[in-house]
Amino acid sequence: MSPKRDKSYYLANKKRIRSLNKKWIKENKERFSMINRRGQVKRREKFKKRIFKILGNKCSECGFDDERTFQISSITNLGKKISKNNNGNKFLRCLFKMSTEELRNNFQLLCSNCNWIKKINLKERVRPKKISKDTEINKKREY
């Protein structure tokens, strides 16, 4: 079928096709969620690769180029604002929609080591809660 014919068929039978799709989704919830999840993973990888390419495909501090260790680090704390506004979701999608200039000015690509060093130096790291003195670990053993 030609693309024009597909589109005209869809437009002519839009309601019927949508109702069939909804029915199939209800009957095949597990399969639909698996297919949908695969699509989400592919989109996420696509977003990451584009952002990594724009930010130079290597750590901006040490030059390490293994993309398994890359983390996107905010230069201007814009990352916190984006995460807070979206409850931490859709962060990569928001970056993907930014212009290249805006991305380069506000974010940098760091390997995990350099990112942790940066967090410690700037005291960005969240400290773990202190264990209270009356926990079982801290109780004196009775002999």
Tens of pLDDT along the chain (143 residues) come to: 556 668 888 889 999 999 999 999 899 888 888 888 888 888 888 888 999 999 999 999 999 999 899 998 888 877 777 777 776 567 888 888 888 898 899 899 999 999 888 888 887 655 665 656 555 555 555 54
Give the total number of structural domains in the chain: 2
Distance between CA 96 and CA 98 in Å, rounded?
6
pLDDT of residue 3: 60
Helix or strand run (H / E) with residue 71? strand 70-74
Range of the domain at 25: 1-45
Copy the structure tokens of residue 16: 């019927």
Largest Cα–Cα distance in the chain?
86
136 found inside a domain:
no
142 found inside a domain:
no
CA 39 to mean position of chain CA atoms: 14
pLDDT of residue 36: 83
70 found inside a domain:
yes
pTM of the model as a whole:
0.62
**In this structure, are 119 and 61 located in the same domain?**
yes
121 found inside a domain:
yes
**In this structure, are 59 and 13 located in the same domain?**
no
132 found inside a domain:
no
